[in-house]
């Protein structure tokens, strides 16, 4: 079975036969899979009326557990965006009624972002759709190989933690 990256490596090999292209075989596939996954996510979420960036924020709140509250600062560290972006995102999510802003009782500078009942329903539905879409992409890979793949990816990712 051949994929896009085999073509890419072949083209580079023709032009730069002096270089060891083994890293490309791994990382170019990771980049491309990430791009395809983004599209699959977008589709799965669109069916539930939310967008990817909305899911990222709502999911962080959902994972925090009841009462589903986090500070904007914590949210931006979880989602790896800047503070300006997070202000904008929370504004729009609040306008849609999926989250609400509360004053932090412990710190008068602070704010807490809390998932509403509607927000919880939205993120739960979207997450189930995402899992279904991802399971689909994995359908052809036997369990044993999937586990092996997860393990290999973990050892690449672990140094970053």
Nearest-angstrom CA–CA distance, 95 and 79: 20
Smallest CA-to-CA distance from 135 within 125, 122, 146 is with: 146
69 forms beta bridges with 114
Angle between helices 4-15 and 22-46 (to 10 degrees): 150
User: Does residue 101 bind its own copies (CB under 8 A)?
Assistant: no
The partner in contact with residue 81, picked from DNA, its own copies, none with C-beta cut-offs of 5 to 8 angstroms by kind, is DNA
Q: Which of 117, 139, 119 is nearest to 60 (CA)?
A: 119
Give the distance from CA 10 to its chain's centroid.
31
Residue 114 interacting entry, from its own copies, DNA, none, C-beta within 5 to 8 Å by type: none
Q: Which of 17, 25, 83, 111 binds its own copies (CB under 8 A)?
A: 25
CB of 101 to its own copies, least distance (A): 22
In the bound complex, what is the minimum distance in angstroms from residue 131's beta carbon to DNA?
Answer: 23
Minimum CB separation of residue 135 from DNA in Å reads: 26
* Site residues (vs DNA, CB under 7 A): 53, 71-74, 81-90, 101, 104, 107-112
Number of H helices, E strands in the chain: 7, 3
Among 17, 105, 109, 155, binds its own copies (CB under 8 A): 155
Would you call the peptide bond into 36 cis, given omega within 30 degrees of 0 as the criterion? no
Residue with token string 């009782």: 105
Out of its own copies, DNA, none, what residue 77 binds, judged by CB under 5 to 8 A for its kind, is none
Q: Could you tell me the smallest distance in angstroms from the CB atom of residue 67 to its own copies?
A: 13
Contacts of 128 (CB under 8 A, 6+ apart): none
Residues interacting with its own copies, by CB under 8 A? 1-6, 8, 11-12, 14-16, 19-27, 29-38, 62-65, 80, 124, 127-128, 131, 134-135, 137-138, 140-141, 143, 145-146, 148-150, 152-161
């Amino acid at each position: 079975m051949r994929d896009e990256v085999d073509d890419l490596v072949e083209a580079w090999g023709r032009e730069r036969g002096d270089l060891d292209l083994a890293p490309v075989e791994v990382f170019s596939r990771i980049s491309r899979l990430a791009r395809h996954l983004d599209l699959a996510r977008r589709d799965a979420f669109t069916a539930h009326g939310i967008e990817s960036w909305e899911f990222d924020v709502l999911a962080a709140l959902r994972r925090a557990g009841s009462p589903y509250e986090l500070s904007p600062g914590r949210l931006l560290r979880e989602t790896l965006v800047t503070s300006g972006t997070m202000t904008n995102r929370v504004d729009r999510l609040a306008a849609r009624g999926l989250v609400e802003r509360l004053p932090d009782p412990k710190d008068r500078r602070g704010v807490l972002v809390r998932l509403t009942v509607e927000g919880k329903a939205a993120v739960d539905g979207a997450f189930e759709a995402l899992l279904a879409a991802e399971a689909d992409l994995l359908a052809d890979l036997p369990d044993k190989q999937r586990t092996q793949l997860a393990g290999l990816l973990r050892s690449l990712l672990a140094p970053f933690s």
